[in-house]
């Protein structure tokens, strides 16, 4: 009976450590690295401003959101004034980039939706 610490001399011999099995040139299974897909260069930062709540007699200042956006032909990304990414949206041919960026800015800064301010009826009693 062979000892566990001694290698088996009867079977096929292993290759020395570090020697790899290589496929021949032109073999269909051989990996061929491809050049990475070219990413479109985004535009320079473009400042944007969106009105979240308009001014009224009770609130003369209103509320606005400021930020900037960068775009490629297929995507727009909106950033806050500190440079943090607020969101991104895909663009289709014919879409207005500024309108898409302003919509993202409004949605992410609490202009409408769940995170917006509550609306109360003027006739409600508290």
What pLDDT tens digit does each residue of the chain (126 aa) get? Answer: 555 666 666 666 666 666 666 777 888 887 778 777 777 888 999 999 988 878 777 767 778 889 999 999 999 999 999 999 999 999 998 999 999 999 999 888 865 556 556 666 666 565
Query: For the chain, what are the domain ranges?
Result: 46-108
* φ/ψ (deg, to 5) at 69: -135, 155
Secondary structure element (H or E) that encloses residue 78, with its range: strand 75-80
Count of all residues that appear for the chain in the document: 126
Q: Could you tell me the pTM of the whole model?
A: 0.57
């Amino acid at each position: 009976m062979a000892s566990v610490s001694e290698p088996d001399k009867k079977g096929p011999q292993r290759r020395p450590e570090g020697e790899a099995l290589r496929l021949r040139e032109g073999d269909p299974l051989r990996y061929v690295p491809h050049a990475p897909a070219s990413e479109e260069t985004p535009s320079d930062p473009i400042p944007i401003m969106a009105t979240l709540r308009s001014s009224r007699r009770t609130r003369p200042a209103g509320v606005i959101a400021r930020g900037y956006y960068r775009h490629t032909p297929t995507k727009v990304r909106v950033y806050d004034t500190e440079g943090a990414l607020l969101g991104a949206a895909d663009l289709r041919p014919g879409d207005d980039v500024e309108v898409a960026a302003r919509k993202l800015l409004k949605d992410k800064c609490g202009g409408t939706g769940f995170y917006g301010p509550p609306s109360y009826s003027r006739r409600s009693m508290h």
